[in-house]
Structure 1
Amino acid sequence: MKKKILTVLCILFGLMMVNSGLNKFFNYMPMPEMSEEMTQIMGGFMTIKWILPLVAIVEIIGGILIAIPKTRALGAIVILPVMIGIFIHHLVLDMSTIGIVLVMLAINIWAIVDNWNKYKPMIEN
């Protein structure tokens, strides 16, 4: 039963990541109201032209990989740095939406813990 729950959660997680990545390319979701500080941060991201496309590609690839049970271990590791960045961003700048970020980070960590035996050969001598 735990495997089925994790599979459903990882599919939803993956779809959210793919959606977020595609939105960075096609801008089909409206932007929420941003504070002046957030506007400056987004301006910085726009100045460094390669950052958002790179994050978008990682979100799309990681989202697809984590949604597929056979590639979930790889997807969970690929998407982890992005999730940590999202978590820190919300922790520092936007605490009002930290709840969903914590849920998504928990799903990501659960997928990593569930696949720990696949990572062990990489860290053992």
Structure 2
Amino acid sequence: MKNSIKSKILFVLALLFGLMFINAGLNKFLNYMPMPEKLPEKMLKAMTAFMEIGWLLPLVGLAEIVGGLLIIVPKTRALGALIIFPIMFGITLTDIFQDRSGLPIAFVLWAILIWIMVENRKKYLALLG
């Protein structure tokens, strides 16, 4: 019973996590979410630089979509977490150095991602040996 509740909570969190990344990835292609009006100047410069590198945002968007889809499915969740990990690292560094207002959300996302990775740790052991 206890394990069943834990797996249901993890599924819901992984579903929301995956959908959030799918949404972020789709937005990089379809631009349906408006940019915040009062973006700090450092963040605006960083976003402009990311857009100047023509291949970077589509690559990140594709990784977000694929990683988000894989995280939703329990069987492929471990692979999805590996794809999302470097994206989360980049998000966190951007939050630290450009605009710290996103850090609380990043910490919540890290907690979910780490839980997913801990639950799948046996699958990762094969990669190490």
- TM-score greater than 0.5 by the shorter chain: yes
- 2:46–2:98 contact (8 Å) kept in structure 1: no
Alignment: residue pair count: 124
* Deviation of 1:4 (Å): 1.0
Question: In the alignment, which of 36, 49, 52 is matched to residue 47 of structure 1?
Answer: 52
Matched, 1:10 2:14: yes
Matched, 1:24 2:24: no
Q: Which moved more, 1:31-40 or 1:98-107?
A: 31-40
* Deviation of 1:97 (Å): 2.2
**Structure 2: which 5+ residue stretches go unaligned?**
none
TM-score, normalisation: structure 1: 0.95
Matched, 1:97 2:102: yes
TM-score, normalisation: structure 2: 0.92
Identity %: 52
For residues 45-124 of structure 1, the aligned pairs below 5 Å read 45-124=50-129
Over residues 21-75 of structure 1, what are the superposed CA-to-partner deviations in whole Å (9 max), with x where a residue is unaligned?
0011111111012222222111211211000000000000000000111100110
- Distance in 2 of aligned mates of 1:115 and 1:64: 17
**Structure 1: which 5+ residue stretches go unaligned?**
none
- Distance in 2 of aligned mates of 1:77 and 1:31: 28
What is the root-mean-square deviation of aligned Cα atoms in Å? 0.9
- 1:87–1:105 contact (8 Å) kept in structure 2: no
